[in-house]
Copies of this chain bind each other. A is one copy, B any other.
Amino acid sequence: MARRGRPKAGEEAAHRDAVISAAFDELVAKGYEKTTMLDIAKRAGASKETLYNWFTNKEGLFSALIKYQADTTITRIKVALQDNTDPRTTLIDFAHNLLRILLSEPSLSLNRAAMTSVDLAAILLKHGRHATGSIVENYLERLAEQGYLKISSPESAFQLLYGLILQDWQIRVLLGETPPSEDLLSQHAERAVDLFFSLAKG
């Protein structure tokens, strides 16, 4: 990975990804404060100066991480919601994905990092919670129009669904509790969606 001199054509994107990936690894291993720009550079086979050229500063680099993770999250959620089977299965799939993502180490580390900087927090809120929120709200609104749900507003419906799915798992795991197993997660997703329907089906 360590190349010296001007990069060959077409190599830039891969190199940038290597930096992002290295930053994730360091972040998960050490946390935001103890992750240094030098460590990231070394792991990526890049130089510190390059990191600063590309991302301006440490916050800039980590805001790029947030956006990167948010993009893959959004993609996965959109895929889950495009399932054309019944709404129950679709929502269970969504719930399962949401739990898996939000309880994954990269997401947790990113959330912890965001707590230490108002700017990072704002970016995470915008690209994370609010971005997925509006997508799911659209979906719920469609369900309501089709008569599957009776809801007062898409926002409050999504908040309810979110609460039923996540309960206090995220905050507990953020504080160091070990996350539930895959099996428990999928059981929980199913139960949460069923509760949601029993509350929102009118």
Residues of A within 8 A of B (CB): 31-33, 111-112, 114-116, 118, 121-122, 124-125, 129, 159-160, 162-168, 170-172, 174-177, 195, 198-199
- The docked-state distance in angstroms from the alpha carbon of A171 to that of B162 is 12
Checking B33, B167, B171 against A160 with a beta-carbon cut-off of 8 angstroms, the contacting residue is: B167
Checking B125, B165, B168, B195 against A166 with a beta-carbon cut-off of 8 angstroms, the contacting residue is: B168
A interface, over-half SS: helix
Known: A163-B166, A168-B159, A195-B199. A175 touches B121 (CB 8 A): yes
> What residues on B are CB-neighbors of A129 within 8 Å?
168, 171-172, 175
Can you pick out 15 interface pairs between chain A and chain B where the beta carbons lie within 8 Å of each other?
A: A32-B116, A33-B33, A33-B116, A112-B115, A114-B175, A121-B175, A125-B175, A159-B167, A163-B164, A163-B165, A163-B167, A163-B168, A164-B164, A195-B199, A198-B199
- The docked-state distance in angstroms from the alpha carbon of A171 to that of B174 is 10
Checking B114, B165, B176 against A118 with a beta-carbon cut-off of 8 angstroms, the contacting residue is: B176
Question: Which chain B residue shows the least CB distance to A117?
Answer: B31
A112-B115, A163-B168 are known; give 4 further A-B pairs, CB within 8 A.
A32-B116, A111-B175, A115-B174, A163-B167
